[in-house]
Amino acid sequence: SAVISQKPSRDICQRGTSLTIQCQVDSQVTMMFWYRQQPGQSLTLIATANQGSEATYESGFVIDKFPISRPNLTFSTLTVSNMSPEDSSIYLCSVRARKGEKLFFGSGTQLSVL
């Protein structure tokens, strides 16, 4: 399985600011994804991070609010823009390794917006 590192692990932010979350994988992966987990809830897919092109967003998520970069096969960032308290969640990076269907998750970024 791939080793996935997310930074920061947690942050407390002020309303109206933005936070960029980094996801670094120790090996090249075919696919990278970003999920959101609201308090006490299940996981919801935000977008698929595409290498070298714009991310593919799921219904209810837009690029202006959640810009995503993926400059290479091992790194991606998710920015949560113009934050409000409703953005308080855990944000998780997920990857599909080069072989097989298994999807693995990072440890997540716990975001609290005041």
Partner 1 sequence: GESVGLHLPTLSVQEGDNSIINCAYSNSASDYFIWYKQESGKGPQFIIDIRSNMDKRQGQRVTVLLNKTVKHLSLQIAATQPGDSAVYFCAEMSLGSNYKLTFGKGTLLTVNP
Residues that bind partner 1 (CB under 8 A): 1, 4, 6, 31, 33, 39-45, 48, 56, 58, 92, 94, 96, 101-108, 110
CB of 73 to partner 1, least distance (A): 15
Q: Is 91 exposed, middle or buried (0-12, 13-18, 19+ CB in 10 A)?
A: buried
Which CB sits closer to partner 1, 45 or 73? Answer: 45
Output 75 or 105, the one with its CB closest to partner 1: 105
Q: Break the chain down into helix, strand, coil percent, rounded to 5.
A: 5, 50, 45
**What is the separation, in whole angstroms, between the first and last Cα of the chain?**
36
| Backbone angles phi and psi of 86, in degrees to 5 | -65, -15
Minimum CB separation of residue 105 from partner 1 in Å reads 4
The residue among 18 and 41 lying less far from partner 1, judged by its C-beta, is 41
- Say how far apart CA 10 and CA 42 lie, in whole Å: 19
Residue 29 vs 83, nearer CB to partner 1: 29
Minimal distance, residue 42 CB to partner 1, in Å: 4
CA Rg, the chain, in Å? 13
Q: What's the closest the beta carbon of residue 33 comes to partner 1, in angstroms?
A: 8
